Amino acid sequence: MQPTEHSQLETLKQQLIVINDISSAGSLLYWDMTTQMPPGGQAARGRQLAVLGQIAHDRFVDPAIGRLLDELQPYAETLPYDHNDAALWRVTRRNYDREVKVPSAFVAEFFQFFSVIYDVWTRARPANDFNAVRDLLKKNLDYSRQYAEFFGPFDHIADPLIDQGDYGMKAASVRAIFAELRAQLVPIVAAITAQPPADDSMVRRHYPEADQLAFGLDIIKDYGYDFSRGRQDLTAHPYMTRINSGDVRITTRVDEHYFNDALFSTLHEAGHAMYEQGIDATFDGLPLATGTSAGVHESQSRTWENIIGRSREFWTHYYPALQARFPSQLSDVSADSFHRAVNKVTPSLIRVDADEVTYNLHVMIRFDIELALLEGAMEIDDLPRVWNERYTSDLGVTPPDDKDGCLQDVHWFGGIIGGAFQGYTLGNLMSAQFYDSALKAHPEIPAEIGQGKFDTLHGWLKENIYQHGSKFTAPELVERVTGTGVQVAPYIAYLRRKYGELYDLS
Amino acid sequence: MQPTEHSQLETLKQQLIVINDISSAGSLLYWDMTTQMPPGGQAARGRQLAVLGQIAHDRFVDPAIGRLLDELQPYAETLPYDHNDAALWRVTRRNYDREVKVPSAFVAEFFQFFSVIYDVWTRARPANDFNAVRDLLKKNLDYSRQYAEFFGPFDHIADPLIDQGDYGMKAASVRAIFAELRAQLVPIVAAITAQPPADDSMVRRHYPEADQLAFGLDIIKDYGYDFSRGRQDLTAHPYMTRINSGDVRITTRVDEHYFNDALFSTLHEAGHAMYEQGIDATFDGLPLATGTSAGVHESQSRTWENIIGRSREFWTHYYPALQARFPSQLSDVSADSFHRAVNKVTPSLIRVDADEVTYNLHVMIRFDIELALLEGAMEIDDLPRVWNERYTSDLGVTPPDDKDGCLQDVHWFGGIIGGAFQGYTLGNLMSAQFYDSALKAHPEIPAEIGQGKFDTLHGWLKENIYQHGSKFTAPELVERVTGTGVQVAPYIAYLRRKYGELYDLS
């Protein structure tokens, strides 16, 4: 590296870190809004988030950043592809070329708008009041289409939105994967639902909040979530947020009459957080310091929630501790029955509570609706009806109201419509592929899980996935780790293996 | 108002609100740092605070703000002095003319520096390690003198720093007030300390944290602190922070073996917070939306902590509830003995734990040392020695170490040296003056306190002090409310009245 290049690179890094400091201040304000803030703070908080969002955007699209990227291009091109500086240049260039297309005034306006629609939605959902959000949803659809148009030309209007969450994917490629998955999933669901349902009455007994939280914390400490660089709080909608490499927070919620809610959301968010905590600390503040795609992120949350946290080995180890903590609730329940209960498969109304087998059918409904809305093939006014029809036809259950129907997910009420849902299912597929690769390298992993040991798995994931942050795109990472692209078969094989033990799938 | 003036005023307000959104994002990040943040977040947080501080500064000193102020001057001059627009113009002009003198690079540098020295101090104090902060303190003294010089010429180098906290005051005027106060205080301290000390062994029994916190919360709800626009958390060093009019937070700390710590810091910070919560909500985001001076702010915290919270009437009402909450600790203690214990007068080492009578002697030591440091009459190397000599001569107690000596206060380790301490004593003086005025208007207030009712007092304070925010300067406000300037006599009369009941002061 020449002295000039060295100083240009340092300047670029410093500016990127400042921009990240501003946008992660916004992340902290959002975290505070959803976990700590007194109700009186709402109005000003939306304005604050908008201001910080706009400042971060404006600083990033500053032509000076573009010039630095231009000047550094020759240097970046001399480097091997997986050199950190090459990756930094590549990812920053990609983000810059994308963000520079979005006018600053639009950014400020939609940040402000999101805090309004989110606030209205938080009241409209419990009140089952679709009308309260109808006009705001129409406005959001306008914004979302306008936003997508900034990135034209495209084959499908959702393509730029999908690409932002899951780089390299398009509406057509996701549709193809989903069609293949649906074809294989539907017979499994049918085979399972033809059999008597698992008894999960014991997870609906009374589990006091403090004990539920303590039990979850013990497990994610074992997993390797580092509390010196994180914390857990309560929210309406569990999520993970990275402030910086030393501060990666998770949230959960507790239903004292439904054990699964707190524990599995804790394991899920811990999976997201361990990914972020595992990113190379020298990337901190740079565009490399984030999980590489929505799908890869979700693969990790689902690994720790489902592949590990709902496995037989896991419950073999943890059930005695659970029983000791909740003796009156579980003294009459065997580990086997409990394992079966937390893996109960049943078509249901709420995505986040859905079992592993039916979960992806929930995602496909949302994905199809998003595309139809963006295409103009469907109107916001049709949303409640279309939603309920799809639940009836795809899952055989009909939402009794919008609260547990089309108002249930935060996504369309706190961000762009489009590009948010496909990552959940892509993540499920990748989770099985990555885990297969981990098992190939370390066949001892399941036995270790049975002893409450996660070092080997966690170490392998850090080495092969986490440390890289966004250095490699999702398709590159999947290829490096598994030797193939995203595939449906390993996930179906995983489901068949696991649920074949619990149900007759012949 | 002409249409042009109207639009200029709206533009100015909008820009000021955005600037406030940025700086109050910084306040929230600081609050998070001291109450919630995992240890791993420290390094990036200092950088974030520096970035936000610099952005807020740069936006405020933008010449466009100066031009708007120039353009609005003719309009402002047509208005009556106490018109809100006139006050907004006046206060913004004053702040602008001050901030514009501080170079942006200096702001960024010292914000960053403060997070470093603060972080080192948080470890140096418990480790009793003055050497760990010695060089940083020297650097801070350099910064502080450099900062003061931006505002020259002045009579005394501390004048601009004092003026920022307590507008209208100078080193000379504070010295004159302090000399008068000291002359009257020393004989009272001598008279009290010649008598047997009050027994306060019962406040040093074991009081579980949760019960202490609950008891304090009950009282500040009665006081009128609005929890829908606030919350309380634990910190090492209690403080109040305003995010906006709907979000004014307080912090406290708990010592399970010293009852006074949590309760009186809670009452103290609630006093600060009620001031902020009481400011006219239409001022929110503007420079008017803050207490008008350090002294006036402290007058309110001390009113609710001491004049109310350590009064006989207060304990007549609350002692039965306290006894019911802590039966094993207090069954053998009368209300009278408890009231006497929480008003025990004894020369001590720690300012924040000092009784009302000796408290101001602690402040004077710090004020004199600050001035000597800034003048160059004293070096940082002399600080531990001079501090200990002054405690020995002024209070008759000698710090056994720096931990409970010159390292005890956060001020020199988290901000400019100078201008921070005089407000505490000015606040004590004003608290007595304001309370006398309240009693003149509503002689029933003490009887209401005896019934746990605070509406009349709180209403009077809101009407006469809180609502105005910074609309009037501290000297103006004191004059409006009391008809005089800051005076020593009412405070001495208050002490003589109160402690004359508890001790022989003849």
- Say how far apart CA A110 and CA B113 lie, in whole Å: 36
Out of B26, B44, B284, name the one closest to residue A246 (CB).
B44
In degrees and rounded to multiples of 5, residue A406 shows phi and psi of -75, -5
| pLDDT of A4 | 84
Residue with the larger pLDDT of the pair A17 and B109:
A17
* Same domain as B365, residue B325: yes
Mean pLDDT, to the nearest integer, of A403-418? 94
Q: Do B51 and A285 touch (CB under 8 A)?
A: no
**Residue B419 in contact with residue B367, Cβ under 8 Å?**
no
| Candidate from A17-31, B107-121, B422-436 with smallest mean pLDDT | B107-121
| pLDDT of A43 | 86
* Share of residues in chain A with pLDDT > 70 (%): 100
Highest mean pLDDT among A116-120, A502-506, B300-304: B300-304
* Same domain as B16, residue B39: yes
pLDDT digits (tens, 9 = 90+) for A258-309: 999 999 999 999 999 999 999 999 999 999 999 999 999 999 999 999 999 9
Mean pLDDT, to the nearest integer, of B388-416? 96
* Same domain as B210, residue B91: no
| pLDDT of B471 | 98
Mean pLDDT, to the nearest integer, of A100-106? 94
| pLDDT of A140 | 97
pLDDT digits (tens, 9 = 90+) for B324-335: 999 999 999 999
Residue B2 has pLDDT above 90, yes or no: no
CATH label of the domain that carries residue A440: 1.10.1370.30
Mean pLDDT, to the nearest integer, of B403-421? 94
B243 contacts in chain A (CB < 8 Å)? 41, 44
Crossing angle of helices A3-35 and A42-60, in 10° steps, is 170
* Same domain as B79, residue B193: no
- Residues of B marked as catalytic: 269
Q: Is residue A102 part of a domain?
A: no
Residue B1 has pLDDT above 80, yes or no: no
A243 contacts in chain B (CB < 8 Å)? 41, 44
* Same domain as B333, residue B243: yes
- Comparing C-alpha atoms, which of A327, A223, A313 is closest to residue A268? A223
* Same domain as B176, residue B148: no
Give CA B297 to chain center in angstroms. 6
| pLDDT of B3 | 82
Residue B115 has pLDDT above 90, yes or no: no
Q: Do A245 and B17 touch (CB under 8 A)?
A: no
- Say how far apart CA B495 and CA A494 lie, in whole Å: 78
Question: How far does B114 lie from chain A, in Å, by closest CA?
Answer: 17
Measured from the Cβ of residue A70, the count of other Cβ atoms closer than 10 Å reads: 12
Q: Do A40 and B246 touch (CB under 8 A)?
A: yes
**Alpha-carbon distances of A424 from A165, A237, A298, A420, rounded to whole Å:** 11, 16, 6, 8
Question: How far does B49 lie from chain A, in Å, by closest CA?
Answer: 9
Q: Is residue A22 part of a domain?
A: no
- Comparing C-alpha atoms, which of B478, B390, B377 is closest to residue B435? B478
b (16+ CB within 10 A) / e for B365-377: bbbbbbbbbbeee
* Same domain as B400, residue B482: yes
Nearest chain A residue to B21 by CA distance is A48
pLDDT digits (tens, 9 = 90+) for B306-350: 999 999 999 999 999 999 999 999 999 999 999 999 999 999 999
Query: Which residue has tokens 């999520």?
Result: A239
B229 contacts in chain A (CB < 8 Å)? 38-41
Measured from the Cβ of residue B443, the count of other Cβ atoms closer than 10 Å reads: 9
Question: How far does A111 lie from chain B, in Å, by closest CA?
Answer: 14
Chains A, B: CB contacts within 8 A come to: 115
- Comparing C-alpha atoms, which of A70, A65, A87, A73 is closest to residue A292? A87
Question: How far does A58 lie from chain B, in Å, by closest CA?
Answer: 13
Number of domains into which chain B is organized: 2
A47 contacts in chain B (CB < 8 Å)? 17, 21
Interface residues from chain A to B (CB-CB < 8 Å): 17-18, 21-22, 24-26, 28-29, 32, 36-45, 47-48, 51-52, 55, 226-231, 243-247, 249, 284-285
- Say how far apart CA A257 and CA A259 lie, in whole Å: 6
**Half-sphere CA count of A16, side-chain side, radius 13 A:** 24
* Same domain as B465, residue B384: yes
* Same domain as B192, residue B131: no
Give CA B176 to chain center in angstroms. 21
B247 contacts in chain A (CB < 8 Å)? 37-38, 40-41, 44-45
Please give the residue range of the domain that contains residue B37.
Answer: 3-163
pLDDT digits (tens, 9 = 90+) for B262-284: 999 999 999 999 999 999 999 99
Interface probe for B, chosen from A51, A112, A240 (most Cβ of B below 10 Å), is A51
pLDDT digits (tens, 9 = 90+) for B29-56: 999 999 999 999 988 998 999 999 999 9
Say which of A71, A149, A256, A269 is annotated catalytic: A269
Helix (H) or strand (E) holding B332: none
Q: Is residue A65 part of a domain?
A: no
- Comparing C-alpha atoms, which of A280, A300, A296 is closest to residue A476? A296
Q: Do B28 and A28 touch (CB under 8 A)?
A: yes
Q: Is residue A144 part of a domain?
A: no
Banded pLDDT at A361 (limits 50, 70, 90): very high
- Say how far apart CA B466 and CA B301 lie, in whole Å: 12
A24 contacts in chain B (CB < 8 Å)? 44, 48
Residue A7 has pLDDT above 80, yes or no: yes
Q: Is residue A441 part of a domain?
A: yes
Q: Do B38 and A244 touch (CB under 8 A)?
A: no
Q: Is residue A209 part of a domain?
A: yes
* Share of residues in chain B with pLDDT > 70 (%): 100
Nearest chain B residue to A51 by CA distance is B18
3-state secondary structure (DSSP) of residue B371: helix
Averaged pLDDT of chain B: 96
Interface probe for B, chosen from A60, A115, A247 (most Cβ of B below 10 Å), is A247
Q: Is residue A228 part of a domain?
A: yes
Mean pLDDT, to the nearest integer, of B354-380? 97
| pLDDT of B110 | 86
* Same domain as B277, residue B177: yes
Q: Do A25 and B25 touch (CB under 8 A)?
A: yes
* Same domain as B372, residue B292: yes
* Same domain as B226, residue B128: no
| pLDDT of A286 | 98
| pLDDT of A21 | 97
**Alpha-carbon distances of A347 from A101, A360, A393, B53, B378, rounded to whole Å:** 42, 11, 11, 52, 78
pLDDT digits (tens, 9 = 90+) for B417-450: 999 999 999 999 999 999 999 999 999 999 999 9
Mean pLDDT, to the nearest integer, of B91-103? 97
- Comparing C-alpha atoms, which of B140, B142, B162 is closest to residue B151? B162
- Comparing C-alpha atoms, which of B181, B416, B404, B391 is closest to residue B294? B416
Banded pLDDT at B202 (limits 50, 70, 90): very high
Contacts for A357 with CB less than 8 Å, ≥ 6 apart: A185, A188, A189, A192, A345, A495, A499
